[in-house]
Amino acid sequence: MDHVDDALIERVREVVASIPAGRVLAYGDVAELAGAPSPRLVGRILAVDGHDVPWHRVLRSDGTVAAHLATDQLARLRAEGVLADGQRIDMRRYRWTDPFPEPGDDQPALW
DNA sequence: CAGATGACGCCGA
DNA sequence: CTCGGCGCCATCT
């Protein structure tokens, strides 16, 4: 029961580690940036080897989080200023879409 | 080998 | 907007 390619695991971990505090990404976003074949793999990788990276900044594209993680994950995000409306995060506001922002092209205002 | 299961995503009703 | 169903990849029964 070995796992996914070590190279892929490393890439996923790097992408997750590069997410700034106060911003989040969807599993699908991480999959694209890391070149993972599917978002499901990202979840699996984080479950096994995500303990030492900011895994709480990765959630579903609709802003919800898995039930068994909700309490911890939402608390961690809240501590960074990512507020949830009940069980749901407002992705429009916190989603981090540009890992390498162009100079002068800032993130959308956090109103 | 076939079916079920997840830290998911998208589309149609 | 919510719900259900199907596709997705790798692993487990």
Instruction: Measure A82 CA to C12 C1' (Å).
Output: 36
Nucleotide nearest to A5 (CA to C1'): C10
Q: Which domains does chain A have, with CATH numbers?
A: 6-94 (1.10.10.10)
What's the pLDDT tens digit per position in A34-83? 999 999 999 999 999 999 999 999 999 999 999 999 999 999 999 999 99
C-alpha distances in angstroms, A34 versus A60, A90, A110? 16, 24, 26
Nucleotide nearest to A48 (CA to C1'): B7
* pLDDT in the model for residue A64: 96
Q: Which of A69, A55, A58, A64 is nearest to A29 (CA)?
A: A58
